């Protein structure tokens, strides 16, 4: 019986995408995963047209719904239908399948209607990449969220295996009587050298959107620049999103703020060691996210000082005692932590970067894959 892997990921698989794209690029290029399966199929989606795609090994087949409608709701329905047809074509009763739904919403709904849940030779796995209702809160009306969560939990209860990418995510779903195993995100820590900054260089890398806390960051930088005079203190923002224009406006006001927009993974790796302090401000309440993010781990691996919120997303991380934590949503508290980070950086503490790097080793991608393989046996 041949062992095959299928991953559902409603993404165009552009390498400059978000956390899920980073994960699948690392996961499917890992030698242990490649050797584990006879074949690997990724069912993606051209949500946004792109001429770039993650580079996968030869035994990885990528199938995308290239005719997907651009509008959100017709697009979701099309993906559900596309997944159903594709899985039906792939299925062979003589093979054994691990099927990973990389997300608990669109991918899970598509998988539910495929009838694969009923097949004895299919091991169904959902990888909870975040807390779904907090992600949907930025695009769905509030009155729909409760219904969406009930549907989500109904489908999640049917999976053989549930994996959460953080304790905060796992704890949230356990309160809904949905139990999961935690396998946090991982990175190839050796790919990220320690920073060698001489000035105080702040950095934000990520989606420029409300749930990532960027509106609070904009207020904090603006007030700090208007009330304090610092020499050799700079802010660089990398990424795009709904609030990109707000960030561009901030950069136009101050010479020490640089907005670079979205960069490729290679560009991001180049930029990371150019900074010694970074912002990680994902919100954790009604709107926000969950899990241990790749951008946080990459910043830790380069030895940056971490400025974040004092919430469950960041307190779960090994090394969180070294973080500079502000009260979530409190601009004045955020400014205080920025000032403290500037003061500490100017002391030229060479030990901090090494300690932060050591903490990041807990999240090396080898650990991530080992836990996955041990879980599935």
Domains and CATH numbers, the chain: 3-182 (3.40.50.2000), 189-362 (3.40.50.2000)
For the stretch 270-304, pLDDT in tens is 999 999 999 999 999 888 788 999 999 999 999 99
**What pLDDT sits at residue 116?**
92
**What pLDDT sits at residue 335?**
98
Question: DSSP class of residue 206?
Answer: S
Question: Per-residue pLDDT for 258 more than 80?
Answer: yes
Q: How confident is the model at residue 50 (pLDDT cuts 50, 70, 90)?
A: confident
Contact in structure between 65 and 87 (CB atoms under 8 Å): no
Say what percent of the chain tops pLDDT 90.
78
Q: Using DSSP, state whether 121 is helix, strand or coil.
A: coil
**What torsion do the CA atoms of 31, 33, 35, 36 make, to the nearest 10 degrees?**
160
**What pLDDT sits at residue 51?**
74
Per DSSP (E only), the strands in the chain are 3-8, 39-45, 60-65, 96-101, 122-128, 161-164, 181-182, 200-205, 233-238, 257-261, 277-280, 305-309, 324-326
- Mean pLDDT value across residues 44-63: 86
For the stretch 352-370, pLDDT in tens is 999 999 999 999 999 999 9
For the stretch 85-108, pLDDT in tens is 999 999 999 999 999 999 889 899
What mean pLDDT is reported for the chain? 93
């Amino acid at each position: 019986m041949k062992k095959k892997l299928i991953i559902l990921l409603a993404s165009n698989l552009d390498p400059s995408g978000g956390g899920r794209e980073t994960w699948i690029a690392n996961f499917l290029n890992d030698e242990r995963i490649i050797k584990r399966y006879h074949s690997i199929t990724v069912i993606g989606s051209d949500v946004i047209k792109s001429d770039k795609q993650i580079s996968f090994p030869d035994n990885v087949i990528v199938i995308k719904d290239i005719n997907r409608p651009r509008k959100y709701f017709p697009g979701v329905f099309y993906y559900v239908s596309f997944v159903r047809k594709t899985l039906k074509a792939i299925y062979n009763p003589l093979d054994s399948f691990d099927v990973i739904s990389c997300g608990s919403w669109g991918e899970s709904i598509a998988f539910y209607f495929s009838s694969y849940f009923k097949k004895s030779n299919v091991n169904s796995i959902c990888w909870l990449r975040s807390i779904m209702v907090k992600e949907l809160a930025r695009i769905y009306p509030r009155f729909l969220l409760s219904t969406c969560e009930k549907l989500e939990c109904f489908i999640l209860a049917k999976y053989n295996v549930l994996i959460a990418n953080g304790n905060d995510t796992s704890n949230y779903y356990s309160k809904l009587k949905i139990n999961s195993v935690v396998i946090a995100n991982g990175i190839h820590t050796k790919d990220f050298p320690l920073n060698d900054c001489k000035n105080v260089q702040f950095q934000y890398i990520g989606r420029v959107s409300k749930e990532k806390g960027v509106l609070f960051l904009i207020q904090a930088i603006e007030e700090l620049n208007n009330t304090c005079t610092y020499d050799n203190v700079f802010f660089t923002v990398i990424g795009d999103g709904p609030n990109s224009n707000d960030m561009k406006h901030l950069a136009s006001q101050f010479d020490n703020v640089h907005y670079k927009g979205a960069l490729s993974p290679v560009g991001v790796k180049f930029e990371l060691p150019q900074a010694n302090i970074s912002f990680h401000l994902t919100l954790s309440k009604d709107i926000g996210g969950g899990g241990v993010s790749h951008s946080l781990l990459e910043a830790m691996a380069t030895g940056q000082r971490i400025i974040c919120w004092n919430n469950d997303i960041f307190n779960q991380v090994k090394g969180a005692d070294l973080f500079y934590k502000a009260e979530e949503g409190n601009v004045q508290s955020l400014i205080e932590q920025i000032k403290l980070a500037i003061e500490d950086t100017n002391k030229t503490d060479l030990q901090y970067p090494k300690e932060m790097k050591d903490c990041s080793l807990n999240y090396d991608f080898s650990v991530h894959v080992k836990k996955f393989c041990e879980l599935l046996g």
